Amino acid sequence: MKSNSDVHIDRHLNSDDLIVIAGAGGFIAGALARYFHNLGFTRIRAIDRKPLPEWYQRVPGVECLSMDLSEKANAIRAVEGAAEVYNLAADMGGMGFIEHFRVECLRSILVNTHLIDAAWRAGAERYFFSSSACAYNTDLQKDPHVRALKESDAYPAMSERGYGWEKLISEMFCQEYWAERGLETHFARFHNIYGPNGTWFGGREKAPAAICRKMLEAIDSRRHSIEIWGDGTQTRSFCFIDDCVLGIDQIMHSKDLIATPINLGSSELISIDNLVGMVEDIAGVKLTRTYDLNAPKGVAGRNSDNTFIRQVLDWEPRTTLRSGMERTYAWIAGQFADRKAGKRVVRD
């Protein structure tokens, strides 16, 4: 199986073809804009509804536009002249956000509805949609010792309310725009993407970042305790950001994955309790644990079955959780110190 350095991608793109990335003021799409810029692509249009000063990353030489793509006119403007369109724009966050703001999550379907139609009308060659493991049938995720989810497990449909249903319906848009209108579409079901330059406080952060922040707060306050949402037995797999953007690139440019669901995630399963223990080890501390059984905690267990991605791409995410968490903790520690010093930091 290929290592990241062995991956070769036939993109059939010129360096000056226009790449449009929606949601680029956020975590994953911001990393994707930097990724393509570093590969030498000279025309990248990055779009997000946040005001430019609030973007996580702004890459020199990349066109940055602040627009709400749930408005049809903005979607049409966004994709003018595009060769490829990557839609990673969504109102989302960790379980604390998606369980409490289901309407906001559902409204993200407006972005995909307008953007995919605009991309087709503009003659774009390829379109990518960022789906999620939240699209999977929740009845299969009631046990922490869950079997890994394969792509066919999305049906019969019983997605997570709000966010998960938006993803599943938007996947269908991608499939039908290929079947009926000939737009080459691709989409991947992300499994808990984490890493530097992501949300780490404010209510939208996911478990890896939240645990790192809570660890730093405990050390800083010297209270040496940490609150865990749920009973700590919930299990997840977490995919590092570098693997995610490389996976997006491969999936977008694979003729075997047109309008075809595919997992993009690590298969390294861990409980939340053990993730806390890993971060304790990285930080060099041992904390007293308390458990909030009434807090949002999501499904009991979720893992990525990577059989299909290995079969098609001869690759799967390769960064170990320990290595990724070391890099994530170090970055959040720097952000934590900056915020304490009164400097501006990444939030949401």
Sign for the pseudo-dihedral over CA of 264, 269, 272, 275: negative
Tell me what pLDDT residue 158 has: 81
In contact, 288 and 228? CB cutoff 8 Å: no
What's this model's pTM, rounded to 2 decimal places? Answer: 0.94
Beta-strand runs (E) in the chain: 18-22, 44-48, 63-66, 82-87, 126-132, 184-190, 193-194, 225-229, 235-237, 239-240, 263-264, 269-271, 288-292
SS (H, E, C) 60-93: CCCEEEECCCCCHHHHHHHCCCEEEEEECCCCCC
Which of these CATH numbers, 3.40.50.720, 3.90.1200.10, 3.90.320.10, 3.40.1190.20, describes 11-194+240-264? 3.40.50.720
Q: Can you tell me the distance from the alpha carbon of 119 to that of 130, in angstroms, rounded to the nearest whole number? A: 15
pLDDT along the chain (348 residues), means of 10: 93 97 96 98 97 93 97 98 96 62 79 97 98 91 89 91 89 98 98 94 89 97 93 96 98 98 98 98 97 86 96 97 98 95 78
Tell me what pLDDT residue 100 has: 64
Largest CA distance in the chain: 61
In contact, 268 and 322? CB cutoff 8 Å: no
The one catalytic residue among 35, 56, 163, 177: 163
Angle of helix 207-221 relative to helix 321-340, nearest 10 degrees? 50
Tell me what pLDDT residue 255 has: 98
CB burial of residue 103 (10 Å; 0-12, 13-18, 19+): exposed
Q: Active site includes 163?
A: yes
**What letter does residue 149 receive in the DSSP assignment?**
B
User: What are 132's strand-pairing partners?
Assistant: 190
